Chain A
Amino acid sequence: MSATIERDGDVWVSSRTGTRWHVVCGLEVHAQLRTRTKLFCGCETSFGDPPNSRTCPVCTGQPGSLPVLNEEALALAVRAALAIGADVAPWSKFDRKNYFYCDIPKNYQISQFDRPYCTGGGIDLPSGRRIRLHRIHLEEDAGKAIHDRGTTTLVDLNRAGTPLIESVTEADVTSPEDAFDYLTALKEILIYVGASNADMEKGELRCDVNVSVHPAGEGWRTKVEVKNLNSFRNVAAALEHEILRQIQAYESGDESRYPVQETRLWDADKLVTRSMRSKEAADDYRYFTEPDLPPVTVSPSFLERQRGMLPELPAARRTRYVRELGLSAYDADVLVADRAVADFFEAAARISGRPKEAANWISNEVLRALGDAQTGASTIDDLPVKPHDLAELIELVAKGTIHTAAGRTVIREMLESGTAAAEVVERLGLEQVEDESQLEDWCRAALEGKDAIVADVKDGKEKALGALIGPVMQASGGKANPQKVREILKRLILES
């Protein structure tokens, strides 16, 4: 019977044998570079276009066609490498990876083998652990084979030739949580530096996992590759499942069940991995230097130009927001998670000179408008409200022209219609009423029949005033200056 396996940190313990199992795992991530055109031809990169409408002689592998490298792809790849502190090779070259499949039109993929453009680097996780990168290389994507329609497999080559970077970690990942955190951080960096949109749903980020387990103190065992992981959650779930499957297999003592070197596919519906094919001797990619592409050198000046285009990275921003701008760690996280939001925040904070208020308005109001049917905006840049609009609102509140509650009405109106703050205030007549006699009228009305409260206040229980302020604000349509209302109520009660 299977043993119960329990977690003890990153160690998995068998209840039956007491064996302490360690996990060795590496991740391979393919990210689509954010270029207009493909890696080796002038076809526009494509998502959701009619099948085979974005292809040319080059990306369909027509006889006689030849590749020419897209400079922007190289630039973006270099920027991604710099962002994770990797070493960009002074020269690199392309190689052919030869294998037969219907979605790769030349039956070789142009990739990089023994001279990748980048090696090393790493990403620090929130847990404090560091995942080192082994290498990153540039390569072209395959097309799409569609298996679920009719009695044949259909092939769409729109995606063929799309520029990818494939990053491979060292075997530093020791838990499903590490994998999840690493992917989250990597995605954030890629988006930040503008190298990739990294949208998993569009296939712009794809992850494969290599995993093996071994008893503490023993050598590494057979590694299994898991593919078809279409979300970070699936990566973590598949990894957990695969770790348990492997441990159970070894614990069974039945050698025929032991893990073999193979590729398994994650079935996200059934929550299992299943064997796709055995690797053994089947793979012989016969890599050799691509004779159609001369080598690529990255000059120091090219490197510096790309470095100059790097924005401040998320981790550095987060720290600065907390230390220098006085934001809470939570607010800093929320803002930094999306580079566009962080940029919006910084602009609004700079213009208004009030970072805390800017952070509050953005996290409480502005972000709520995203994905909202009313605004139809999916990113902060789609909104009609720009940083200087928000800064204007912040100033109106700070000067006391309107109070915070009215501000909420104003910002919602701004987000819906794009109208400037001052204009909304004027149109809705939200400017605070400062006129003493008007305020006094509202206060007298509110005191009507509230003898108990009046008595309490006279007894020195000033807190009781709160119950009166609400009705006054209501009567004023939210326009009364609450500070003044409090003063007037107090005076009227004490005078009575």
Chain B
Amino acid sequence: MASSDEELVRRTAELARLSITPAEAAHLAPQFARILEHFKTLSDVDLEGVEPTTGAFGLRDVLRADEPRASLTQDEALANAPERIEDFYSVPKTIGGDA
């Protein structure tokens, strides 16, 4: 398999925040290519004029009244956090946003 497959795997992994090793990329790339090859039948059918199905089969306008419900306590909310400082989640220092 060409290294372009590895490059594709590497780039996709970056988007998905998976820090895969070069060895893993080399292992995954041919699998990835084979899977996509196997899925090629999707490209063959004529889907002209077909509406997409996105789930929620036929439901619409599912709405909730603007009424408060009990929140979790701080301890309940933070109970599963790997790192906590006071009543905050704590993460490695970062500056600025991402979006």
Direct contact of A and B (CB under 8 A): yes
| Chain A positions near chain B (C-beta within 8 angstroms) | 35-37, 41-44, 50-57, 60, 68-74, 91, 93, 97, 99-104, 109, 142, 145-147, 150-157, 227, 265, 276-277, 284, 286, 289, 291, 293-297
Contact B90 A101 (CB under 8 A): no
Contact B98 A100 (CB under 8 A): yes
Contact A291 B54 (CB under 8 A): yes
A-B contact pairs, 9 of them (CB 8 A): A35-B66, A43-B69, A44-B68, A55-B72, A71-B64, A103-B97, A152-B91, A153-B92, A265-B96
Interface check B94, CB cutoff 8 A: yes
Q: Which of A42, A52, A277 is close to B68, meaning CB atoms less than 8 Å apart?
A: A42
Q: Which of B17, B61, B69, B88 is close to A154, meaning CB atoms less than 8 Å apart?
A: B88
Q: Which of B56, B65, B93, B95 is close to A294, meaning CB atoms less than 8 Å apart?
A: B56
Q: A52-B74, A53-B71, A154-B89 are in contact. Are A147 and B61 (CB under 8 A)?
A: no
Interface check B62, CB cutoff 8 A: yes
Q: Mark B50-80, 1 if CB is under 8 A from A, else 0.
A: 0000111001111111111111111001100
| Chain B positions near chain A (C-beta within 8 angstroms) | 15, 17, 54-56, 59-74, 77-78, 83, 85-99
Minimal beta-carbon separation of B11 from chain A (angstroms): 9
Contact B61 A70 (CB under 8 A): no
Residues in A neighbouring B95, C-beta threshold 8 A:
147
Looking at B59, B61, B89, the one whose CB has the most chain A CB atoms below 10 A away is B89
Contact B56 A100 (CB under 8 A): no
Minimal beta-carbon separation of A475 from chain B (angstroms): 63
Contact A155 B88 (CB under 8 A): yes
Residues in A neighbouring B90, C-beta threshold 8 A:
152-155
Residues in B neighbouring A99, C-beta threshold 8 A:
98-99
Contact B56 A293 (CB under 8 A): yes
Q: A152-B90, A153-B92 are in contact. Are A101 and B97 (CB under 8 A)?
A: yes
Q: Which of A54, A102, A291 is close to B71, meaning CB atoms less than 8 Å apart?
A: A54
Q: A60-B77, A101-B98 are in contact. Are A73 and B66 (CB under 8 A)?
A: yes
Contact A71 B63 (CB under 8 A): yes
Looking at A51, A52, A150, A265, the one whose CB has the most chain B CB atoms below 10 A away is A52
Residues in B neighbouring A152, C-beta threshold 8 A:
83, 85, 90-93
Q: A35-B66, A53-B74 are in contact. List 15 more A-B contacts (CB 8 A).
A: A36-B66, A42-B69, A50-B87, A53-B73, A69-B62, A147-B93, A147-B95, A152-B93, A153-B90, A153-B93, A155-B89, A284-B15, A294-B62, A295-B61, A296-B60
A315 to B99, CA, bound (A): 35
Contact B71 A43 (CB under 8 A): yes
Q: What is the chain A residue whose CB lies nearest that of B65?
A: A71
A293 to B67, CA, bound (A): 19
Residues in B neighbouring A43, C-beta threshold 8 A:
68-69, 71
A42 to B64, CA, bound (A): 9
A294 to B72, CA, bound (A): 27
Contact B67 A52 (CB under 8 A): no
Q: What is the chain B residue whose CB lies nearest that of A295?
A: B60
Contact A289 B54 (CB under 8 A): yes
Contact A294 B59 (CB under 8 A): yes
A296 to B61, CA, bound (A): 5
Contact A41 B69 (CB under 8 A): yes
Pick the 8 closest A-B CB pairs, nearest first. Answer: A42-B69, A72-B66, A154-B88, A71-B63, A155-B89, A294-B59, A101-B98, A294-B56
Minimal beta-carbon separation of A290 from chain B (angstroms): 9
